[in-house]
Amino acid sequence: MPDHAPSREQQIARTFVALADTLVPDFDIAETLSVLVDRVVELLSVSAAAVMLVAADGTLEVMASSSHSAELLELFAAQTEAGPCVDCIRSAAPVTCTDIQDQGHRWPPFAAAAQECGFRAVHAVPMRLRDQTLGVLTLLGTEPGALSDDDGQLGQALADVVTIAILQHRAIEHSERVAGRLQIALDTRIVLEQAKGILAERGVMSPDEAFSRLRDYARSRRRRLTDLARAVIAGTAELDTILTSATDSAQR
C-alpha cells in the first residue's frame, strides 16, 4: 500500500496553520502553547519542550510542557531563577548548552537537575517581538549536541508566531486588562493541572498520558480544553469516556 504519511514540509505547513488558528477572538492560550510544545518535538530533533512566560509581576511561570520531566526541570529553573531559559529571557537572545555535563558550570544547580531529569542538551529560544520579551521556548535533548541551523530557525519561527498571537490579543484588550489576561492564563494552567491529576488517579496512569487523553478528547469533540478541564473538576464530565477515547493521530 502507498505511504500516505505527511512529509516534513506538509507537517510544517500544518503546524503554522494550527498556530495561525489562534488569531481569532476565541483565543485559548493554554491550547496554543500545548500545540507549540507538541509540534516542536515532532518537527525538531529534540526530546522535549516547554514554555515559560513572564507574569505581570515579573515572576517566571511554566505554562506548557511536552513531558513531566521537562515541566519539572523548567519549574526548578523558574524557582531558582537560573538556567539557560532564564538567561534567554534576560538577554532576549538564544542560549545554547550542547552538553550540560561539560558546560553546566554556568548553572551548577540547573545542570544537576537537568541530568537527573535525563537531559543533556538545552536550547533556549526567546519569545520576543522587537523590544518585548514574553518568555522562552526551551528545547531539550537527552543526548548532547547542537541543533541544526534549519531546526534552530524553525524553532524560532514557531516561537515568533505564538508571540505575535499573544501580543495581538493583548493589543486588542484595554490597557487595564492586559495584566489580567496573563493572570487568566496562569489560572488556566492550575485548572489543567487539577484535571490532569484527577484523570491520572482515575485511570492509574502518568500525568502526561492523562493530559494527552484530555487534550485528544477536547480536540475530537471540538471543545475548549479549559472548559473540558473545568467539567472534569466539577464532576460533570464522563471520565471513563475521556480516558478510553482513542487518539486520532491524524488530527495532531
- Look at residues 172, 199, 217 and tell me which one is the last residue of a structural domain: 172
Q: What is the mean pLDDT of the chain?
A: 85
pTM greater than the 0.75 cutoff? no
Instruction: Say what the pLDDT of residue 79 is.
Output: 95
Is the pLDDT higher at 117 or at 7?
117
Which stretch of DSSP H or E encloses residue 56?
none
Gap between the Cα atoms of 101 and 119, Å rounded = 10
Q: What would the pLDDT profile of 205-245 be if each residue is shown by its tens digit?
A: 998 999 999 999 998 888 889 999 999 999 999 999 999 87
- Are residues 152 and 76 both part of a single domain? yes
One domain, residues 26 and 126: yes
What amino acid is encoded at 128 in this protein?
Answer: R
Residues 118 and 61 in one domain: yes
Query: For residue 134, what are the domain limits?
Result: 8-172
Mean pLDDT of 71-89: 96
Residues 6+ apart with CB under 8 A from 175: none
Q: Do 193 and 167 share a structural domain?
A: no
Same domain? For 144 and 196 the reply is no
- pLDDT value for 250: 37
Q: Is residue 36 part of a domain?
A: yes
Question: Residue 181 falls within a domain, yes or no?
Answer: no
CATH number, domain of 242, equals: 1.10.10
Compute the distance between CA of residue 221 and CA of residue 213 in angstroms, rounded to an integer: 12
Q: Is the pLDDT of residue 247 over 50?
A: no
Percent of the chain whose pLDDT exceeds 90: 55
Among the three residues 121, 138, 172, which one is the final residue of a domain in this structure?
Answer: 172
Tell me, yes or no, whether 23 and 78 share the same domain. Answer: yes
pLDDT band at 175 (very low <50, low <70, confident <90, very high): very low
Same domain, 164 and 199: no
What does the DSSP assignment read for 8-22?
HHHHHHHHHHHHHTT
- Confidence class of residue 31 from pLDDT cuts 50, 70 and 90? confident
If one counts every other C-beta atom within 10 angstroms of the C-beta of residue 242, the result is 22
Phi–psi pair at 247, nearest 5 degrees: -80, 125
The residue type of 26 is D
Residues 84 and 31 reside in one and the same domain: yes
User: Is residue 143 within 8 Å of residue 121, measured between CB atoms?
Assistant: yes
CATH number of the domain within which 28 lies: 3.30.450.40
Same domain (yes/no): 83, 143: yes
What is the pLDDT, as a whole number, of residue 19?
A: 65
Residue 3 belongs to some domain of the structure: no
93-120: pLDDT as tens digits: 999 999 999 998 999 999 999 999 999 9
If asked whether residues 141 and 219 sit together in one domain, one would say no
pLDDT band at 174, cuts 50/70/90? low
Give yes or no: residues 84 and 194 share one domain.
Answer: no
DSSP reduced 3-state for 139: strand
Q: How many domains does the chain have?
A: 2
The answer as to whether 72 is a domain residue is yes
pLDDT at 1 over 50: no
Alpha carbon distance 172, 122 (integer Å): 34
Report the pLDDT averaged over residues 58-86.
95
> Is residue 179 a contact partner of residue 208, using CB atoms and an 8 Å limit?
no
Q: Within a domain: residue 182?
A: no
**Domain co-membership, 153 together with 247:** no
For residue 112, give the C-alpha cell. 544537576
Q: Report whether pLDDT(180) > 90.
A: no
State residue 24's pLDDT score. 54
Q: At what angle do helices 68-80 and 108-116 cross, to 10 degrees?
A: 170
Determine the average pLDDT of the residues in 57-81: 94
